Amino acid sequence: MAKLTAAGEVFTELVLEVFRINGLALEAGDALTEPLGLSSARWQVLGVVDHEPAPVANVARIMGLARQSVQQTADALEQAGFIEYTENPHHRRAKLITMTARGREALRKVEARQAAWANQLAARLDAKTLQTVAEGLRQVRQCLEEAAAPTTGRQGGGAR
């Protein structure tokens, strides 16, 4: 059995802390979005398609999630009137997720709630430390992406 090096132990601590933070962030996201009829997952999908309509597979790729889970979330968003599926000029069967006026309004409201929440929490922390942590996490993400990339040199895997 392989034994962790000192650096491996610190990396493991980091991963466990990220898992804890992820759980708390999703819980906070659900609390921010619930009054608007959303959830953290629904908010994430709306955030992606706010920039431009996209097929479910693209949204899943951007979010790093399984296509099926994004499909279920998008279907729920459609039933609630936050998005609609529109024709995709680049693919016959893969419809585009397009934000409705109701979805855009809800997203703007949750963004305002998130800004107040983030500002309140950030005021309790050192801005330089946050910047350093964010950069460190970006480096860890890039390392994980490289480790997960197929040996062909392509990143992200899957069909493009």
Q: Does residue 160 carry a pLDDT above 90? A: no
Give the pLDDT confidence of 80-123 residue by residue, as tens digits. Answer: 999 999 999 888 889 999 999 999 999 999 999 999 999 999 99
The more confident residue out of 152 and 70 is 70
Q: Does residue 157 carry a pLDDT above 70? A: no
Query: Is the pTM above the cut of 0.85?
Result: no
Residue 39's pLDDT is 96
Say how far apart CA 60 and CA 71 lie, in whole Å: 9
Say how far apart CA 70 and CA 54 lie, in whole Å: 12
Give the pLDDT confidence of 37-73 residue by residue, as tens digits. Answer: 999 999 999 999 999 999 999 999 999 899 999 999 9
Say how far apart CA 72 and CA 89 lie, in whole Å: 23
The more confident residue out of 155 and 5 is 5
Residue 151's pLDDT is 59
Helices 40-49, 67-79: inter-axial angle, 10-degree rounding: 90
Give the pLDDT confidence of 118-147 residue by residue, as tens digits. Answer: 999 999 999 999 999 999 999 999 999 899
The pair phi, psi for residue 15, each rounded to 5°, is -60, -45
Beta strand residue intervals within the chain, DSSP E: 54-55, 83-88, 91-99
Query: Which domains can be identified in the chain, with CATH numbers?
Result: 36-113 (1.10.10.10)
Q: How many CA atoms lie within 13 A of 79 on its CB side?
A: 9
Say how far apart CA 142 and CA 160 lie, in whole Å: 20
Q: Does residue 152 carry a pLDDT above 90? A: no
Say how far apart CA 52 and CA 96 lie, in whole Å: 9
Residue 86 DSSP SS3: strand
Residue 64's pLDDT is 87
The answer to whether the CB of 36 falls within 8 A of the CB of 109 is yes
- The mean of the pLDDT values for the chain is 92
